[in-house]
Amino acid sequence: MSNALEIKDLRASIEGKQILKGVNLTIRLGEVHAVMGPNGSGKSTLAHVLMGHPKYEVTSGSIVLDGGDITKMPPDERARKGLFLAFQYPLEVAGVPLSSFLREAYKARTGEQISVPRFRSLLRETAARLHLPENFLERPLNEGFSGGEKKKCEILQMAVLKPLFTILDETDSGLDIDALRTVAQGVNALLGPSLGVILITHYKRILQFIKPQFVHIMVDGRIVESGREELAERLEKEGYKAFT
């Protein structure tokens, strides 16, 4: 199926321990899917496996992106094909300006060798559209950034690289309400028919700002129930024990 990210009976382990135990999920362009679950349920493992983290072994199943099987592709090839991960805890890269990093990433993603002046103009326009300070662009990548600034930086990366599918791995982690609102506004500004989103979270709080069309409950490495936004309301009332 083209224009979709298809996860088919995905099973994966780390150091011999099975974490994902048969995940099935299809995300189409234009859709936002929330994946919710308690600690240890496999949510972040799913994000890492989708991106091809080398510590995880896919023992069976497949990942199909826009009609092509990417299960055995390295992370850089998956990114070039349009898969993007916003980390729960973004890493600092000392000495590498954000603008330089993004220019190289843009070249790898699009194959286009863009001039420095033209790319700086693109960055400034994108930052302004997302209401991000222009001084972000020359600061070293995430170095000295607050948690909220790191998450805003990832939204800027997403806006510039224009992935087909984005995985937001607990983007709300460590954010106060004002930072969460700002980050959510940035994500919402990018939503549309050319982007599919997997929103991984523990709590319903972020769903007040980024509205999913679909909600999935993950427990013990499997998606045990799927529904619409009302499923998150039920989870809020009954807790995860109702799904175990």
Query: What residues pair up with 170 in beta bridges, in sequence order?
Result: none
3-state class (DSSP) for residue 219? strand
Token pair for residue 219?
Answer: 């427990």
Please give the pLDDT value at position 89.
Answer: 67
Sign of the CA dihedral running 90, 40, 167, 52: positive
User: Which residue would you say has higher pLDDT here, 28 or 187?
Assistant: 28
3-state class (DSSP) for residue 244? coil
> Given the structure tokens 């496999």, which residue do they identify?
42
Task: Pick left, alpha or beta for residue 192 (phi over 0 → left; psi -120 to 50 → alpha; otherwise beta).
Answer: left
pTM score: 0.91
Please give the pLDDT value at position 24.
Answer: 97
User: pLDDT per residue over 63-102, tens digit each?
Assistant: 999 999 999 999 999 999 999 998 776 666 777 788 888 8
DSSP 8-state assignment for residue 135 = G
DSSP 8-state assignment for residue 243 = G
Closest by CA position to 152, among listed 191, 168, 213, 208 = 168
Q: Which residues contact 102 (CB under 8 A, 6 or more apart)?
A: 119, 123, 156, 157, 160, 161
Please give the pLDDT value at position 1.
Answer: 61
User: pLDDT per residue over 124-139, tens digit each?
Assistant: 888 888 777 777 787 8
Closest by CA position to 35, among listed 241, 222, 244 = 222
Q: Which residues contact 64 (CB under 8 A, 6 or more apart)?
A: 1, 4, 5, 6, 8, 70
User: pLDDT per residue over 211-232, tens digit each?
Assistant: 999 999 999 999 999 999 899 9
Phi first, then psi, for residue 87 (nearest 5°) are -75, 150
All structural domains of the chain: 4-243 (3.40.50.300)
The model's confidence at residue 163, banded by pLDDT at 50, 70 and 90, is very high
Asked if the model's pLDDT at residue 27 lies above 70, the reply is yes
How many angstroms separate the CA atoms of 143 and 176, rounded?
Answer: 20
Task: Pick left, alpha or beta for residue 85 (phi over 0 → left; psi -120 to 50 → alpha; otherwise beta).
Answer: beta
